[in-house]
Structure 1
Amino acid sequence: MIPFTGLAAGDRQLLQWSQWLYALERDELAFPPFGDELSRHGAAARKRILAVLATEEGFPLKAIAKHLGVSPNTVIRSRLRYEQGGVDALTHCKPRARIADDERYRDELFKLLHEPPSQSGFNRTSWRIADLVEAMNRRGFKTGRAVLREAIDKSGFRWRAARVVLTSTDPHYQEKLDRVQGVLANLKKGQCFFSIDEYGPFSVKAIPGRSLSGPGEQPAVPQWQKSRGRLIVTAALELSKNQVTHFYSSAKNTA
């Protein structure tokens, strides 16, 4: 044991705390209700246990909070938990209820999402996070961006960009589609069904782009160029296996 004489009050308190922790680790102090609980639990539970043990040892409230890196209220709550429920109350704390998991909150949020923003006083056609937060607060649900995003994510909602879908103006589109699907459904082993298209002819010319250039060099492409050749690309999509093959030619030739 290191003597405390000649030390400042703060240093003396820190040394006393360190020696007490060292004695705890070496099992030199007996606290029957706790047994080996300190070594069996995570950091949060260990801090609650140490807070109770330190109050039993007589350490001041502020000193305990400082050494454990918690607030004085946490030390007081840990002591109250121990007095009301024993060691189990310190090691098996019920998780705090999250606002994002509250059914009333989520019901109100999705009711809001299915309403036009104009109904809540916003002059726009689609919702923004900031508008949703403001609208929920108006309805008595104190919330922020993080809570709102969590509730939306947990329900499977996602912010997605619209995808461009191919459409046809052919009045016989559905009839032709049904015929193609019928052929595909009746293909025999060794048979394939290709959809073939051509692109071109196109000229082979230099086009603007990025290139690795030395100091003082400025790449340039002439506006008017002589063609270096002409090509046609022909591609075939095998519809039953969704595989593509292609070739280049100088003239139309699908043979």
Structure 2
Amino acid sequence: MGRRPEVFVRQVSMAEGQRLQQISRTAKDPVKLRRAIVVLMSAQGQPAPDIAHLLRASEDYVRDVIHAFNERGFDALNPKWSGGAPRRIDEQTRDWICVIARCDPRFLGQPLSGWSLAKLRDYLTATGYVTTISVETVRRVLHERGVSWQATKTWKASTDPDFTTKMRRILHLYDHPPPGGRVRCVDEFGPLNLQPRPGRAWRPQGHPVRLRATYHRDQGVRHMIAALDLATGRLHYRIRDRKRWREFLTFLTTLRARRPDQKLYLICDNFSPHKHPEVRAWCATNHVELVFLPTYASWLNWIEAEFAAVRYFALGGTDHRTHTEQDTAIGTYIRWRNQRAQPKTGFATNSKIRHPDYPFKAA
């Protein structure tokens, strides 16, 4: 039997040669890249056996690529992926899988409070929705239809009958501080006990920071009382052993001393020391107005965001052994933060609470 006649690509123009070179350098699809190399090498006069040996492919594959290029040109370089095997689970069944996944298993007579993928698979096969299905297929069906594994969260609405009036009063103070007055958000942060605190840090994979576990915390707790000055964005604070009305009133006197010529508008929650008769009497005689948040609406207090930053940057990932050490860490962070502080403007500008009809009433 004689040798098969050699097959070469048709004559390639200079422009086609440059295009082939570009594809062979930049193509991301491995099939297109491989076919372009075959055509380019054939155009350079290399026979099919040599190309097959270099690419570790069969000679028949090389000849097929050359014939296809001679017939269809550059379109022959693009892979024509087949549609794959037909789906064994029809669309209606896929819809049912998602419906069942979103159901409480107890509603379907199962002694479970939630589905795992394996238990959902077992229920689908036991009830005849499918003959057989893998856990991975269940996962992909749910993913394709936007059903994801999510944590349950709590939700609490304010029960304050004067919620709207109080909220709008606070937003007005945020947006339009009274001339000759100073708006400050006041709250307590704590308790500051001594314990290893979880945090996040950049570390090599598989080598997280390890903190000790504590079984006895016998050094007591402390509390931070702080005020956020909206005009400057600075935090003022004191750390005390208790957070009674006496400590709160002492803190207010320090705020008063900072701005003796301006009326103070202090936004605070409904914690009982804030409403103590001694505190109210002092405020009435010292040009201080206490502006109370609606019940269960501490998120309206701008200082809450600053407390989250203190918790994250000053305490996250730490394991202080003494209160002095922990107080120093908090103070160092707040001084660093105050050096970079900017006036606070634009509270929740794009939030639904800015809508004139908020809170929306059910139809």
Q: TM-score, normalised by structure 1?
A: 0.47
Higher relative contact order (CA 8 A, sep 6+): 2
Over alpha carbons, which structure has the higher Rg? Answer: 1
